[in-house]
Structure 1
Amino acid sequence: MPNGGIRLSIDLTSAVIAATADLHGTRIPVMLNGRIVMPHGLSVGPSGQLHVGAAAPSEPSADHQFIDDPLELLGAARNQPPLDAVQLLAGQLWHIADQAVRQTGVPVDALTVTIPSAWGPRRRGHLTDAATRASLPAPAMVTAPAALAAYATAGTVPNGSCLLVCQADRHRITLTVLQADPDGYRELATRPISLTHDLDHALAQQLTGTSTKDDDPPPAETTQSAQEHGAVALLESIRQARQLLTTQDRAPVLLPAPRQPAVITRDDVTAAAQPLLDAVDGAVQDILDAADVDRHHLANVIHHEAEAIPGLQERLAAATGHTPTSLIGHSHALADGALSLTTAHHHAQPTAADTQLPRVRLRIRDLTSAILIGGCSLALLLQAVFTADVVTVDYRVIGVRTSLPQLGVAGALAMITAFAVAHLAPTTWLAGTSTPTTPEPATGSLIRRGYLAAAAGGTIAAALYGLATGTAVEYDYQPYLKWTLGSALPLAACAAVIAATAPRIPAPQLPDWLARTRPAVLHTATAGIGIYLMQAALTLTPPVDLTGMPGLIGSAGAALLGIATALTASRSRTIRTVTAPGLAIGYAIVVTSNTSSALIIGYLVALTWWATHLAAHTLRLAYPNVRQTLGRLTGGPTA
């Protein structure tokens, strides 16, 4: 499971929306608005707020606009403004994912959505855009027939075998022939069973004596909007009545006002279904011909119904010669089946915590970075101590003047030295070899140990720097400790963040991450030399002048410090090319005894920024869906 989150599967193609979450291999039906399934309907308020899972109102509202299903608007040539079908679908997806996150307590790491077979690149692209707007991962899309086949067969169909899938759950009844292959199922042909009315519309026409189609003229006493809402409510009432007929003989149906409620029986449903049953034989033969298969090529027949259609299973058996696998009432069949098909694409990706990188024995040249950076750190510390202006009265020190920012850089470079040593931990042997009783630890464990040791060791070294300075000048150590320790602690915090999160980095990204975490010796050495020269020119009496040009050494040191600051603050080649010469010239011009501290502090800020950016990059690799989590905390999309 990537990063320990859930894989969420959403079925948008059935009569009601169903969602399943997979948490560490455990399938959890997601409760949507407190129910196991949720209606497709959306209600848009006057200010654009969405009410997801709304049932069709009995009467139209002037304040709220009801959308029966945003999926039907998706891909339409034009939508009436201010409707945005992609944004409506984004709100629906966000609401479902939010319910899943609240139920499981972990974010969504992978998303699967069941879609109709007829969808092409346009509507698939719209769905991807909707998921992006909802701060969800890019969805893996599975067609409804393939999801049903995966759920019904549980992967037991041999490769090359064919299946006939009959969907009679929501849209027009559709027949699809699939062929199993190693990657799932390949669609050979799909055909709807062409009827003047589907079963629900046929029952509605039988009960009211009128059609529910939008192109029929509305009665004079009603408006067209009222008729549309009445038709939607009537069809929903018929669906509920058919569901009741699975357990009882009679069921009530609410008719649009001013008509009184009606009652339907199983015989009424059987009579309304007769045109469909009469068309099954011809439709099956047509789909088999279109797929270029015969009845004996079929390994199984699957049919899925929200409510049972009397006689359909028997007709399918007679037309195909196979007893169909019936999925009547399996509300999560498509969500679970789609999840099974995409499992292969969402296997737990190996991370640093369970990966072992190739390692070599530690050599002197491997320590070059740490030695050079540590040398710069000690040189700056000793220069600050030996050039300190100590004021004494009667052999008692009453004041000391030295560069506190320079001490801060010395403490920060002590921490960077620890970073350089920690960088070696996952790729070098310090001593000994692994044995059966002491196996080699994983790379993630080595990274954690290395950077925790760096955080602790660098902090201790910086603290010792401050104490040593106070001891050397025989003065209160507190101001020195504040600068050395204060400059090192932000870097130590970044090392601790890296230690905590780096083991979650995906294994394929480890080499790039390791290359990025290597401290740049050239940048650090340039800064150390620049500060050393600049302070030597400003603090020594008489001033350093090896060239006969007073101030040249200090200006050169300041220029080197400016270059190092630009190289440390950014990884962009363009930004470095522009800023490095500018800072070099600017630093060389403005350097004085009064401005040198500000220039050194600028480098300290750049060094802290480098460590912070490295910790942030590690967090992004370890938790790629932080944006999604933040989106949930700040609220979902609105229409």
Structure 2
Amino acid sequence: MVNGDARLSIDLSSSAIAATVSRQGTRVPILIDGRLVIPPGVAIAPAGDLYVGVDAAATRSLPADHRFVNHPADHLASPAQAPDPAQPNPVDVLAAVLRHVSNHATHQVGQPITDLTVTIPPAWGPRRRAHLSKAAARAGLPPPALVTAPAALAAYTTTLGLTTPENACVLVCQADHHPPTLTVLQTVSDGYRELATQQLHGPHDLDDLIAGHVVATATADHDPLQALVDHTDTITAEEHGLLLESIRTARHQLVQQERAPVMLPTPHHPVVITRDDITTATQPLLDQVPDAVAHLLDAADVDTEHLAAVIVRPAPGVLALTDRLAAATRDTPTIVDHSHALADGALTLTTHQTGPRAAAAQLPRVRLRISDLTGALLIGACSLTLLLQAVLTADITTLFTRVVEARISLPQLGTAGALAMLTALAVAHLAPTTWLAGTPTTPTPEPTTGSLIRRGYLTAAVGGTITAALYGLATGTAVELDYTPYLKWTLGTALPLALCATLIAATAPRIPADALPTWLAMTRPAITHTVTATAGIFLMRAALTITTPVDLTGMPGLVGSCGAALLGTATALTATRTRLARTITAPGLAIGYALVFTYNTNSALITGYLIALTCWGIRLTSNTLQLAFPSVRSALHRLTGHSDG
């Protein structure tokens, strides 16, 4: 899985919740609890546990002490001040929904969410928008970009080939969520501008209207609304819920067929309804359409001739609504009935709004503290520990006080040089977000994040290389022999990481500013892996050292095997990225390293870790290049026929 931006889009404006993730230009519909869409309802247990994705029809099977919130987003209209203690906080309930969806998205794409887009009803004002932002923050998500449902629908139609010139107008009808809403949009350079919006109000939603008609037909009552009132007064809430569930099922069936059954409460027998029955039942809504369209166009100050398109997200089974809109606007509507249309359309709008890159952006910065340097200090201590152990435990042969031979672990020296470079990278990682001292008092403007990354990683490349070279020279001086073989190992292991640091310094300033947090998390050296590898190498070397007693139990082989197991674990953790791969490879390498550890194999085991560390640097550089040049990466994937998944 390649790292990069993961933009999550959640549709909260429809009758069901849908989510899509855009990652490096690829759209991934998110399966939530194994479903493409989930009901918006939330069940709340007495202890405060929240259960997301509960359908209203399922509430009859909930325990009596559980509460049910049908659509948390609809409850954000209540003021946040002095909330009713007897009712759940709508912000907390919506936060649970957002958290639930984002957890599934994170698990499915294998990386954290870096951007959030939420589709909302057009009538939402500053209060509900602020409540939604609070809910996203409580869910641990980035601040959301809010897109109204009509704009998202209009943007989705552009992917279907429907194009509207700039300054043209579009009428959008969203009828799948009560109450149906009509909106006029004007196409502008950066998206859409809302000119007017109007809701089709009624005393009951569509399911209730159809239920009233069915009851009136079954009881020979010619007044559907009175029949509905009488019906709801004479049946239980559970029976009414079953009737509405049966109505919803029949409506979806009528999209594909001419007739559908509806189950009525006892003692009535089931009835069969047709599309004409749906049209008759929804007549109070349909009768509003001509006047609503006329008033809407007047409010937007446009005529029907100014409408470049009419877009409809239909209500299941209510086919006559599209015909009424076509008659009122004198234009054939474009029907959008895809479950992820609004989530995808919102992504189309937000991903086209490119932000600044690191070269022109500035991340918030704080004063550098000792705690910030803990990671770099630990890695530096590991590097010095391996260097000193290699030098102090060298088996030196002398002839007449002259050193003629020194047996020293060259791979261990190479590891010390590589960790010196890794220390420099750990310090460079802090450069974009910390000050060396307090806030500057000079009038010189603060350098950009891209400039800090460039300076930090170039300095790391140079400083780490110099330190590795000094390690080789110091080793030759300490054993009083030619330093050439030692210099080859310390520099040879550090230079690949130095080259990676140089490439990062050259390309990282091109990373989009909104992707910098993800990149910074990706470039942080893993301290635990480094300390584990150092401990393993230290124990292996100690077990092989002739002059140093390392185990009071008289079992130096056990100490060395434990060290080899630690080194194998560190090698697996450094070479792999996913949790599954680490779970499989870490125990295997730990056991394998422990079994094969001998005096003759310890150098090969250390070399394996050095290869894994070099691969980590190459992978980091590759991911940086992909973030900095996404178009090149997308082109390569198109040529090879691969996708991000």
Change over 3 Å in CA distance of 1:256–1:343 after alignment to 2: farther
Structure 1: stretches of 5+ with no match in the other structure? 356-395, 397-410, 427-441, 473-490, 514-617, 623-639
- The DSSP-based 3-state class of the residue aligned with 2:114 is strand
Partner residue in 1 for 2:167: 160
Matches within 5 A, 1:201-216: 201-208=208-215
Deviations 1:270-302 (A, max 9, x none): 211222222211111111111111111111111
Deviations 1:537-579 (A, max 9, x none): xxxxxxxxxxxxxxxxxxxxxxxxxxxxxxxxxxxxxxxxxxx
What is the distance in 2 between the residues matched to 1:164 and 1:295? 9
What is the distance in 1 between the residues matched to 2:500 and 2:136? 30
Change over 3 Å in CA distance of 1:131–1:191 after alignment to 2: same
1:92, distance to aligned residue in structure 2 (A) = 0.8
Partner residue in 2 for 1:49: 49
Which of 262, 271, 283 is equivalent to 2:280? 271
What is the distance in 2 between the residues matched to 1:65 and 1:451? 57
Change over 3 Å in CA distance of 1:312–1:161 after alignment to 2: same
Partner residue in 2 for 1:75: 77
Structure 2: stretches of 5+ with no match in the other structure? 217-223, 362-400, 402-415, 432-450, 482-493, 520-619, 625-645
Which of 255, 259, 280 is equivalent to 1:246? 255
1:325, distance to aligned residue in structure 2 (A) = 0.9
Which of 142, 150, 157 is equivalent to 1:145? 150
Change over 3 Å in CA distance of 1:508–1:240 after alignment to 2: closer
What is the distance in 1 between the residues matched to 2:458 and 2:285? 69
1:261, distance to aligned residue in structure 2 (A) = 5.3
Partner residue in 2 for 1:24: 24
Q: Which amino acid aligns with 2:75?
A: L
Deviations 1:25-77 (A, max 9, x none): 12221112111111101122333222211222224522432221111121313
What is the distance in 2 between the residues matched to 1:246 and 1:111? 33
What is the distance in 1 between the residues matched to 2:307 and 2:358? 43
1:464, distance to aligned residue in structure 2 (A) = 4.1
Change over 3 Å in CA distance of 1:257–1:108 after alignment to 2: farther
- The DSSP-based 3-state class of the residue aligned with 2:352 is helix
CA contact 1:175–1:192 (8 Å) conserved in 2? yes
CA contact 2:314–2:322 (8 Å) conserved in 1? no
Which of 116, 129, 132 is equivalent to 1:111? 116
Change over 3 Å in CA distance of 1:500–1:91 after alignment to 2: farther
Which of 191, 199, 202 is equivalent to 2:198? 191
| In the alignment, structure 1 residue 39 sits paired with structure 2 residue 45 | no
- The DSSP-based 3-state class of the residue aligned with 1:338 is helix
Deviations 1:9-29 (A, max 9, x none): 111111111111112112221
| In the alignment, structure 1 residue 344 sits paired with structure 2 residue 333 | no
Matches within 5 A, 1:540-559: none
What is the distance in 2 between the residues matched to 1:148 and 1:445? 42
1:195, distance to aligned residue in structure 2 (A) = 2.6
Percent identity of equivalent pairs: 45
Matches within 5 A, 1:408-447: none
1:181, distance to aligned residue in structure 2 (A) = 0.8
- The DSSP-based 3-state class of the residue aligned with 2:282 is helix
CA contact 1:110–1:346 (8 Å) conserved in 2? no
What is the distance in 2 between the residues matched to 1:28 and 1:146? 21
Change over 3 Å in CA distance of 1:141–1:230 after alignment to 2: farther
What is the distance in 2 between the residues matched to 1:508 and 1:59? 49
| In the alignment, structure 1 residue 290 sits paired with structure 2 residue 299 | yes
CA contact 1:79–1:85 (8 Å) conserved in 2? no
Change over 3 Å in CA distance of 1:501–1:196 after alignment to 2: same
1:256, distance to aligned residue in structure 2 (A) = 6.2
Which of 323, 331, 340 is equivalent to 2:339? 331
- The DSSP-based 3-state class of the residue aligned with 1:122 is helix
1:443, distance to aligned residue in structure 2 (A) = 11
1:257, distance to aligned residue in structure 2 (A) = 7.4
Deviations 1:596-633 (A, max 9, x none): xxxxxxxxxxxxxxxxxxxxxx99xx9xxxxxxxxxxx
Which structure has more RCO (C-alpha within 8 Å, separation ≥ 6)?
Answer: 1
1:269, distance to aligned residue in structure 2 (A) = 0.7
What is the distance in 2 between the residues matched to 1:84 and 1:214? 33
CA contact 1:451–1:496 (8 Å) conserved in 2? no
Matches within 5 A, 1:163-174: 163-174=170-181
What is the distance in 2 between the residues matched to 1:212 and 1:96? 41
What is the distance in 1 between the residues matched to 2:231 and 2:253? 32
Q: Which amino acid aligns with 1:342?
A: T
Change over 3 Å in CA distance of 1:508–1:161 after alignment to 2: closer
- The DSSP-based 3-state class of the residue aligned with 1:345 is coil
Partner residue in 1 for 2:7: 7
- The DSSP-based 3-state class of the residue aligned with 1:303 is strand
Q: Which amino acid aligns with 1:100?
A: A
CA contact 2:458–2:501 (8 Å) conserved in 1? no
CA contact 1:15–1:169 (8 Å) conserved in 2? yes
- The DSSP-based 3-state class of the residue aligned with 2:244 is helix
Change over 3 Å in CA distance of 1:257–1:13 after alignment to 2: farther
- The DSSP-based 3-state class of the residue aligned with 1:108 is coil
Matches within 5 A, 1:308-387: 308-327=317-336, 329-346=337-354, 350=357
1:153, distance to aligned residue in structure 2 (A) = 3.6
CA contact 2:20–2:28 (8 Å) conserved in 1? yes
Matches within 5 A, 1:249-260: 249-254=258-263
Q: Which amino acid aligns with 1:272?
A: A
CA contact 2:215–2:227 (8 Å) conserved in 1? no
What is the distance in 1 between the residues matched to 2:68 and 2:499? 52
What is the distance in 2 between the residues matched to 1:79 and 1:497? 58
With normalisation by structure 2, the TM-score equals 0.56
What is the distance in 1 between the residues matched to 2:228 and 2:119? 28
Deviations 1:417-468 (A, max 9, x none): x969x99xx9xxxxxxxxxxxxxxx998997676345334314424644764
Change over 3 Å in CA distance of 1:443–1:72 after alignment to 2: closer
1:311, distance to aligned residue in structure 2 (A) = 1.7
CA contact 2:250–2:262 (8 Å) conserved in 1? yes
What is the distance in 1 between the residues matched to 2:29 and 2:346? 14
Q: Which amino acid aligns with 2:342?
A: L
CA contact 1:204–1:211 (8 Å) conserved in 2? no
1:203, distance to aligned residue in structure 2 (A) = 1.2
What is the distance in 1 between the residues matched to 2:226 and 2:40? 19
1:81, distance to aligned residue in structure 2 (A) = 3.5
Q: Which moved more, 1:7-16 or 1:247-256?
A: 247-256
Q: Which moved more, 1:312-321 or 1:77-86?
A: 77-86
Which of 102, 119, 137 is equivalent to 1:97? 102
What is the distance in 2 between the residues matched to 1:133 and 1:500? 38
Structure number with bigger Rg: 1
- The DSSP-based 3-state class of the residue aligned with 1:74 is helix
CA contact 2:211–2:228 (8 Å) conserved in 1? no
1:85, distance to aligned residue in structure 2 (A) = 1.2
With normalisation by structure 1, the TM-score equals 0.56
1:144, distance to aligned residue in structure 2 (A) = 0.5
Q: Which amino acid aligns with 1:9?
A: S
Q: Which amino acid aligns with 1:131?
A: A
Change over 3 Å in CA distance of 1:260–1:467 after alignment to 2: farther
Change over 3 Å in CA distance of 1:43–1:497 after alignment to 2: farther
Q: Which moved more, 1:90-99 or 1:100-109?
A: 100-109
Change over 3 Å in CA distance of 1:214–1:137 after alignment to 2: farther
What is the distance in 1 between the residues matched to 2:466 and 2:228? 76
CA contact 1:131–1:138 (8 Å) conserved in 2? yes
